[in-house]
Amino acid sequence: MNQALGKRVKGVSREVMECFKAYDWPGNVRELQNTVEAAMNLVSGTDEIIEKAHLPGYFQAHADSITKTRIVEPTLLSDTREPPVVSLNTSSVESGVSLAEAQSAREEELICRALRACSGNVSRASQNLGISRQLLHYKMKKYGLDRNSFCK
């Protein structure tokens, strides 16, 4: 994911890892992947660890309830025994879809869901996605999405 997003993230804080472990993940691995990707998009050039502040807005309330009294230290990905979070479903690989194509399709799907859930309100959708409003506008233009088509 670092290469695809042009980042140098080395891991997540213990606080974030505890939140990830405690969360129910109704969207399964895809929701986890999208949450990590959204957080990575918010990591600045000097940060190397995903912190709670990098998590999408919808996830921060959950994080607050899990970690109110804990002291956290960063956990590097190399320190964990678990494999990296990035996952491709096998049907994408078998059909010859490239990683970039699969990520773009998934990103567009996630943006559409957020816009639909917010009735086309770009500010709210960007908060839910954990990205800036400007970045969401850019991505909407990239995928040819019109906010009016998501208004109820």
Q: Rg (Cα) of the chain, in Å, rounded?
A: 16
pLDDT for the residue numbered 122: 93
Tokens of 46: 């000097």
Domains of the chain, earliest start first: 2-79 (1.10.8.60), 97-145 (1.10.10.60)
Q: pTM score, two decimals? A: 0.42
Residue in 20, 97, 80, 102 with CA at minimum distance from that of residue 55: 20
Neighbour order of strands in the sheet with 11-13: 49-50, 11-13, 74-76
Instruction: Write a three-state SS string for the chain.
Output: CHHHHCCCCCEEEHHHHHHHHHCCCCCHHHHHHHHHHHHHHHCCCCCCEECHHHCCHHHHHHHHHHCCCCCCCEEEHHHCCCCCCCCCCHHHHHCCCCHHHHHHHHHHHHHHHHHHHCCCCHHHHHHHHCCCHHHHHHHHHHHCCCHHHHCC
pLDDT in tens, 59-104: 766 666 654 544 444 444 444 444 334 444 445 455 566 777 778 8
pLDDT for the residue numbered 84: 39
pLDDT for the residue numbered 69: 40
pLDDT in tens, 11-55: 888 888 888 887 777 777 888 888 888 888 888 777 788 888 888
Q: Which residue type, as a one-letter code, is found at position 84?
A: P
pLDDT band at 123 (very low <50, low <70, confident <90, very high): very high
Residue in 58, 81, 63 with CA at minimum distance from that of residue 16: 63
